[in-house]
Amino acid sequence: MTKETYDVLIIGSGASGGMAAYTLTQKGIKCLMLEAGPLVDFNRQRTLKPVYELPYRGMGKPGKLPRVFQANEFNASQWVDETDVPYTHDPKEPYNWVRIRMLGGKSLFWARMSYRLSDYEFKGKDHDGFGENWPISYAELAPFYDRVEPIFRVSGRKEGLPQLPDGIFVEDTSPDAGALNRFRDAGKSLNLTVTKIRRSLGDGQFASSYNLLLPAAQATGNLTIVPNAVVRDITTDKKTGLVNGVNYVDRQSGRALHAKAKVVVVGASCLESTRILLNSNIANSSGVLGHYLHDQFYISNGVQAVVPEAKGGNAPRGLMGGSGYLPRFRNLKTKEKNFIRGYATDLNPSGTPDAKYFGTWGTELQKQLDEHRGAAFGTTIMGEVLPRFENYVKLDPKVTDKWGIPVLNFHCRYSDNEFNMAKDAVATISNICNDAGFKVLHGNDKMFPPGHSIHELGTCRMGDDPKKSVLNKWNQSHDIKNLFVVDGSSFVTGGAQNPTLTILALTMRASEYLAEQLRKGDL
């Protein structure tokens, strides 16, 4: 039985896979999309429940998803169960690999933070000498950011910052809370800016491949979507060395199948894409496939402060509420002694500090909570992690997943640059809070384990030199011209910004190049 050979086979249906389908199908290219997870009917899959009706009172089934700190008893079923798809690491080098397998991928649940990278990232080596530059500049990607933002309806406020370029925004004209203004004024000597969170509004606060990209792609008549197709590896033509399809497995039955295509686009999420390439034993003449794993380190409530005037729920109108974003301000025009690059911070002037911050219990604890009600000033610190060769994934020779596919073994730890950056962040933000007249309850410079931010990047990086990179500047394999990898694995550096907007822009750019190459018959 001979099945159709598609023009392009896309692995994954999240932000990158969805954008590849969106771009290619509108150019008349016949695409096949394989998604490892099911199509979820949200109306059937979810229901409202009071927490006390859950079997474990919302405290979670013991031992379930121990490395997914975002999981709780309500949402436990939405994450990939690591007993189905395990991964391994040295216990001393923990890694939190947080995954979702459903049509739409992680774009179903992301926080929708949508920031552009700048030449402080694309040309980072020129700035401080570390690592490699990207093979593209901000100017080359900017036109694609310009086209992605209106699709996702990114809200924001223009600031004119070189380290955080403005976009095509749905303008956010809401006033900043008084507490944010005080924070900004207190940090004036550091030349910092507090801006609005830049967030994809999408359609009704839902901004996913699922609703913004895939419907339009399928409406062209050029997209075939197959859920429950777990890709094992990519196959190659022995004569030409070109890729010609993929081996995949029915998620539910384990039955093995093969699909054919002229071009393969891998967008299975950063580390799943690299896993597929490693299992395929292709595209690694450089020897760097799997290396330069990085992300952003996260510290929730790195500084937990209180705004005294808001205590007891008595905040004057306009003092509290909303949120703000403190873009990177370190190592722009000056140089820090102990670290390169920088960090950004989410600022949240609302709510009540958690009970854990009060060294008391019982009646006195409740009194403290009542006193501090509505007065919390929380901060989430997000720092750039340097891409280093020694942080990597490889195949574990002893462990396979539920479908017999070899799994990843992680070797990743943060370095002094990240530790020093975290210390600076907590000390600096604490000082600003004090100068703003806030009371600092707690400071913590210990970050979550690598991976926690769900911003895993690198391991299949792009570059001009085929000896140092896996992909060229078009997200195309240096080794195999009809193979493209379009997700976060292609990043050279990540900055402190959330990566999804850049993944979308890179994928649109790569897909247009791919389409042109196909049209010219060069693939």
Partner 1 sequence: MKRRRFIQTVAAAPAIAIPATAPAAQPATQRPPAEAPKFELSPLDAVGDTTPRFFSAAQLATLRKLSDVLMPPLNGMPGALEAGAPEFLDFLIGASAADRKQLYKNGLDTLQTQAQKKFGKAFADLNETQVGELLAPLKKPWTYEPPADPFARFLREVKADVRTATINSREYSTAGSAGRRGGGVGQYWYPID
Q: Confirm or reject binding of residue 75 to partner 1 (CB under 8 A).
A: yes
- The residue whose two tokens read 């940090």 is 187
Residue from 27, 76, 125, 242 touching partner 1 (CB under 8 A): that is 76
Q: Considering the complex, what minimum distance in angstroms separates the CB of residue 421 from partner 1?
A: 16
The encoded tokens of residue 118 equal: 């700048």
Q: Confirm or reject binding of residue 52 to partner 1 (CB under 8 A).
A: yes
Q: Confirm or reject binding of residue 74 to partner 1 (CB under 8 A).
A: yes
170-171 and 223-226 beta bridge pairing: unpaired
Q: Confirm or reject binding of residue 111 to partner 1 (CB under 8 A).
A: no
Q: Considering the complex, what minimum distance in angstroms separates the CB of residue 81 from partner 1?
A: 9
Task: Mark 223-262 with x for binding to partner 1 (rule: CB under 8 A) and - for no binding.
Answer: -----------------------------x----------
- Alpha-carbon gap, residue 357 to 442, rounded angstroms: 7
| Closer to partner 1 by Cβ: residue 95 or 484 | 95
Say if residue 440 is exposed, middle or buried (CB neighbours under 10 Å; 0-12, 13-18, 19+): middle
| DSSP summary character for residue 40 | P
Q: Considering the complex, what minimum distance in angstroms separates the CB of residue 100 from partner 1?
A: 11
Residue from 1, 2, 63, 334 touching partner 1 (CB under 8 A): that is 63
Q: 85, 96 in Cβ contact below 8 A?
A: no
Number of amino acids touching partner 1 (CB under 8 A): 41
Q: Confirm or reject binding of residue 54 to partner 1 (CB under 8 A).
A: yes
- Alpha-carbon gap, residue 74 to 64, rounded angstroms: 12
Q: Considering the complex, what minimum distance in angstroms separates the CB of residue 95 from partner 1?
A: 18
Q: Confirm or reject binding of residue 205 to partner 1 (CB under 8 A).
A: no
Q: Considering the complex, what minimum distance in angstroms separates the CB of residue 38 from partner 1?
A: 6
| Closer to partner 1 by Cβ: residue 250 or 512 | 250
- Alpha-carbon gap, residue 351 to 313, rounded angstroms: 9
Helix axes 416-435, 178-186, angle to 10 degrees: 110
Torsion, Cα of 125, 131, 132, 138 (10° steps): -50
Q: Considering the complex, what minimum distance in angstroms separates the CB of residue 448 from partner 1?
A: 9
The encoded tokens of residue 180 equal: 């944010």
The window from 7-15, 39-47, 111-119, 337-345 that contacts partner 1 (CB under 8 A) reads 39-47
How far CA 416 is from CA of 126, 410, 422, 423, 488, in Å, comes to: 21, 19, 10, 10, 24
Q: How many Å separate Cα 264 from the centre of its chain?
A: 23
Q: 479, 283 in Cβ contact below 8 A?
A: yes
Q: 295, 385 in Cβ contact below 8 A?
A: yes
The window from 55-63, 124-132, 184-192, 432-440 that contacts partner 1 (CB under 8 A) reads 55-63
Quote the Cα angle for 348-354-357, to 5°: 110
* Residues 347-406 close enough to bind partner 1 by CB under 8 A: 355-357, 359-363, 366
Q: Confirm or reject binding of residue 53 to partner 1 (CB under 8 A).
A: yes
| Closer to partner 1 by Cβ: residue 168 or 365 | 365
Residue from 181, 224, 444, 517 touching partner 1 (CB under 8 A): that is 444
Residue from 26, 78, 380, 415 touching partner 1 (CB under 8 A): that is 78
Residue from 3, 49, 158, 258 touching partner 1 (CB under 8 A): that is 49
Helix (H) or strand (E) holding 303: strand 296-306
Q: Confirm or reject binding of residue 94 to partner 1 (CB under 8 A).
A: no
Helix (H) or strand (E) holding 365: helix 362-371
What is the binding site for partner 1 (CB under 8 A)? 37-38, 40, 44-54, 56-59, 61-63, 72, 74-78, 102, 252, 355-357, 359-363, 366, 442, 444, 446
